Amino acid sequence: MTFGDVATVLSGLLVLRDGETTDDTVDGFVETDSREIVPGGIFVAKPGETTDGHAFVGVARERGARLAIVEHPVDDDITQIVVPDAVEALGALASHVVAAVRSSGRLRVVGITGSNGKTTTKNLLDAVLSPRAATVAPKNSFNNAVGAPTTMLRVTGDSEFLVSEMGASGPGQIARLVRMVTPDIGVVLKVGLAHAGGFGGLEETFAEKSAMVTSLPDTAVAVLNLDDDRVAAMADLTAARVVFFGLADAAHVRATDVDSDRTGTRFTLVLPSGEARPVRFRVLGEHHISNALAAAAVATELGVPLDDIVAGLETVTRAERWRMEVLGGRDDVTIINDAYNASPDSMAAALKTLAVITPPEGRRVAVLGTMAELGEFAGDEHDRIGLLAVRLRVDRLVVVGTDARRLHISAINEGSWDGESVFVETADEAYAYLSDELRAGDTVLVKSSNSAGLRHLGDRLGELFSW
């Protein structure tokens, strides 16, 4: 695009660097982090909570940025487009670029949302689609008002698939992302209490997640989780053709013959045509079967043969860094590092996985930290997880951090335990305790929200018991 093209799309004020004209072009990626800039790109100077992107325009220029999108002119030798809101401008540019690539008729857009499982499903779908055609998918968990459009802006004229994670921590955010690029296929995985503090409760979360499918045209496809009653109910809210996935017999894409252990999960993948294939799925936890089914449903709609879907699913060995990541192995001690995100649903699923995969002769050890962003629901939900740990017969519960202490209290108040639950203030204290406590045959789950920092504890324990 030319400088003039970009300024027109953004309705911004173009301030040209000496010697440059409106017909000069940009052809690199668009970034909000100056460290990620490559030559020919655009730097979006986004104001932040602790730092202001305007202070890094010069760094971006030195790294090769040709254009800066700013909210006020900066004294750097670079062409700038001044806009009222840099994040809104980022979204507008993404919408324009995707529409332009789409006009060729090749690009298909998949939008994925849900309280849990977005990143895993994105990774699985990327593994299935990438061998077939040029596919753009988010790095890490780029799914918010900045990360999603940044990913969208990586499409080129050769791109055939754009997989877009669409997350939200407050009302209206998913609808905004959907408006940027109305998906050809919209996926809803689950409605739960993740980020409930920002929404207000399950009904509000339902309203937010349903925005993925309510505005889809009748030419689109809504891929919905039949095992989640709230998600299944979204079938009545969309004009799109509905494809259900799940374990239920009525699901169009389903799994049968499910079996799990510490090496992964085995199941039979069944498609609407009746075709079926066994899958050796190495992502730990039966709850991730739902994500695999969602990816398979999308891939089927995009024309991927069943054998290629299975091959893609079987290449994925972990959901994502710090998500059900299997570490250790020495002395038959298995560390499951799942401490990047934690909601009540994902915490419960991880604990149930721990209960299912621990061999009869081994101990179930759960190292749990806080579940963040639950607002008024935090106390009750930590209570519920503490009780669940007892009922699943976790042999040793280690609760880390003041924000999670209520989970420890709930467990010991259950009355059936005598010393099985331990509370410590810090990850270092937990490491010191576990270094002495763990023994051969233990299976250890480390689970918390990212803010608790227990992912680093999981890494340390994995290293301690590595070969």
120 has binding-site annotation:
yes
Tens of pLDDT, residue by residue over 243-286, are 999 999 999 999 999 998 888 899 999 999 999 999 999 988 88
Element (DSSP H or E) covering residue 348: helix 344-357
User: Residue 162: left (phi > 0), alpha (psi -120 to 50), or beta?
Assistant: beta
Place of tokens 């294939």: 277
> 8 burial class (0-12, 13-18, 19+ CB within 10 angstroms)?
middle
264 assigned ligand-binding residue: no
State the pTM of this model: 0.85
Closest CA to 195 of 208, 185, 181, 212: 208
CA pair distance 86, 168, nearest whole angstrom = 19
221-225 vs 161-165, strand pairing mode: unpaired
Q: How do residues 74-127 score in pLDDT, each as one tens digit?
A: 988 999 999 999 999 999 999 999 999 999 878 999 999 998 889 899 999 999
Residue 254 contacts residue 212 (beta carbons within 8 Å): no
115 is in an annotated binding site: yes
Q: Which of 116, 164, 128 is closest to 279 using CA atoms?
A: 128
Give pLDDT, residue 159: 96
Average pLDDT over all residues of the chain: 92
Q: Determine contact, residues 73/15, Cβ cutoff 8 Å.
A: yes
* 119 annotated as a binding-site residue: yes
Helix (H) or strand (E) holding 61: helix 57-62
Q: Residue 118, annotated ligand binder?
A: yes
Q: Is 117 annotated as a binding residue?
A: yes
Contact call for residues 319 and 294 (beta carbons, < 8 A): no
Question: Angle at Cα 330 formed by Cα 326 and Cα 336, nearest 5°?
Answer: 20
* Residue 278, strand partner residues: 268
When pLDDT is averaged across residues 196-216 and rounded to a whole number, the result is 80
443 is in an annotated binding site: no
What is the share, in percent, of the chain residues with pLDDT greater than 70? 96
Tokens of 250: 């009525």
Question: Mind listing the domains of the chain with CATH numbers?
Answer: 3-84 (3.40.1390.10), 89-315 (3.40.1190.10), 325-464 (3.90.190.20)
